[in-house]
Amino acid sequence: MRAVLWDLDGTLVDSAEYHWRAWAATMREAGVAVTRAQFLGSFGQRNDTILGEWLGPHVGSARRAQLGEAKEAAYRRLMREGGLAPLPGAAAWVQRLRRDGWRQAIASSAPRANVDAVLDTLGWHRCFDAVVSAEDVTAGKPDPQVFQAAAERLGVPPARCVVVEDAGPGIEAARRAGMVSIGVGPGASRATLAVASLADLPPDAFEALLDSPARPGGSG
């Protein structure tokens, strides 16, 4: 019993530019200026959290939901027009882990329509045994719900799950869920194992993490 729970954006694919362009256009049409620094600081969070910070408490939930839906529709359009490719090492690891009998799930803060659009573009639907997205949880990362739900759907206990993430909130969510983690890129340096790219992982990286005494919540 062992599983890998994958974040999507920034971990398996790099769609940040599409997200930025979609947010910038949507907020500009709403009369709100958003800087790239604000966008980068929000990456990996749920839309309701992002818009709550950008718009303030005076903007109601209905308006936030409307803007969020408009942004996601723009993102999917941009992605389909521009195409998408896996990040270095991503496709090889997904295929290898599946071949070696690991259970795999997508555990993303993105809406399900976005996740499906990415998997459709890459032809990856059959690679994953479960998908958990924004609609399946009530709180976003760093809350551990998304990883707990993914592990439950796979039927694998948290101690036998490896989370792969690119952002600090996701790494913290993995720790709270009692799972070891692989952090990809500079935003995930607090992971159990941090690397610049999935292509840099040693061949036994996932097995070694499950056998490691360095468990989440420890003093190390």
Sheet hosting strand 130-132, strand order edge to edge: 130-132, 103-107, 3-6, 161-165, 180-184, 193-195
How many Å apart are CA 106 and CA 109, to the nearest integer?
10
Query: Among 209, 203, 201, 174, which residue's Cα sits nearest to residue 185?
Result: 201
The identity of residue 53, as a single letter, is E
Residue showing tokens 């555990």? 107
- φ, ψ at 71 (rounded to 5°): -65, -45
Percent of the chain that is helix, strand, coil (3-state, to 5): 50, 15, 35
> How would you classify the pairing of strands 161-165 and 103-107?
unpaired
Asked if residue 39 lies in contact with residue 23, where contact means CB atoms within 8 angstroms, the answer is: yes
Tell how far CA 109 is from the center of its chain: 6
Q: Which of 7, 100, 166, 204 does the annotation list as catalytic?
A: 7
Q: How far is CA 80 from CA 11, 15, 64, in A?
A: 19, 11, 24
- Does the annotation count 7 as an active-site position? yes
> Which residues does the annotation mark as catalytic?
7, 9
